[in-house]
Structure 1
Amino acid sequence: MKIDLSGKTALVTGSTAGIGKAIAKGLAATGAEVVINGRGQAKVDATIAAIGSEVAGAKVRGVAADVSTADGCKALLAALPQVDILVNNAGIFEPKPFFEIPDKDWSRFFDINVMSGVRLSRGYMQGMLKRNWGRIVFISSESGLNIPTEMIQYGMTKTAQLAISRGLAELTRGTAVTVNSVLPAPTMSEGVETFVRDLAKQNGQSVEEAATNFVKQHRPSSILQRFASPEEIANMVVYVCSKQASATNGAALRAEGGIINTIA
């Protein structure tokens, strides 16, 4: 299968690192014009340069904007009024005991992980419907179904993304626009790698031992039995964005290594 997205413009939020960067790189390799997004111009510029050097003929540009705020989303929409592909990837996580999570954290997680996708989908989806082609993808998590006790506030936002994605898909009925969500496994992105290194230091372990023990302790149902790589998640997302994925709509697609112990 050859995925060709030449002539399509794709926006990937939170794409200066981790899964978002891997998705942006994967989409650039299909010929799409990819728009990098992050809060700081320096990181956006560095990511554009990196992908440009790694993907021959890549068409990459960027818009620095904080999509966790209404003003940031408004600025992004003003700078980039139209896209064919929207990947709502921007998000945060933080392990914290439930009884220590203050109200402001619940609001912060909801604004970044949920409202960024709501605002941008509201801004871009009508144009997709009018042109009768488009792809919207929410990067959710297996934590949206298996709520992690160590970060309930995160799991809440990932469940919300699944509901929004399915609801928006219902609005595309009879069109060539699709809305789906992808559920990654715990993924060794930069932020997670820092978290695992801290665990290793605390427990006197190697990074590899800490990573293995985390999966065994906190995701014991994993069939993969390891962290996924950002590229493994990006492969699923690139397919969902493709023309070949035209019959995949309203789906919650798993790239979580078998952690969710159900057949449907």
Structure 2
Amino acid sequence: MSQPSQHTTSAVLDAARPAVRAVGLRKTYGRGDAVVHALDGVDVEFARGEFTAIMGPSGSGKSTLMHCLAGLDTASAGQVFLGDTELTALGDRELTRLRRERVGFVFQSFNLLPVLDAAENMLLPMRLAGRTPDPAWHDDVVRRLGLTERLTHRPHELSGGQQQRVAVARALLPRPDVVFADEPTGNLDSRAGAEVLSLLRGSVREVGQTVVMVTHDPVAASYADRVVLIADGRLAGGLTKPTPDDVLDALRTLGA
């Protein structure tokens, strides 16, 4: 029997490594009697090419966890790894470069610049990093997101769903290691929210993108492959192939 090539073995090992993981992650605010443990020793991994939702009661630490995983907030203790790179060991300049080159963001508030049209908003992070998108990939993303006829429109000329699709395109165009989405449907009606979630889901199924999403919505979470539950700053279980009812039942046990 022939042995696998070194290239094949390396590719298998790369695929097996988590896209992002936390080890003993802690985040505290305040001191003394006023100290708050937003994260209290979290160990968690997120697989490559998987859509994961982070859920928990209000104040559970879910947004803090995502912000630390994405390098948007600093941990008080513990480690965060993006692939083999330890984010918690990087300086501010290195962390800024890593976020531009390897991380995509989709936020509830869209964060589009009103003076730029849709095309310019989509390309802004890459231009700041001195990069240009692959033309074929750019055209494919624009087509998939239904933005071909909207590229010259400014944000005020777009619906909420269209603005969020621009934000999704902005996150996907650099082909990041991970796309982090923080309540991406929070400002959308149910139809527009379903469109955005389907697009994120499609990016996982069709191109192998890794997506980590914070949400409070059981229906939104049902689009994910897996749900990670967090309560009082600690992991509190998880679900695979979740349904809205499964998520509701799990949240009830946490007091959400």
The answer to whether the superposition gives a TM-score over 0.5 is no
Q: State the structure with more CA Rg.
A: 2
Q: TM-score, normalised by structure 2?
A: 0.34
Calculate the TM-score normalised by the size of structure 1: 0.33
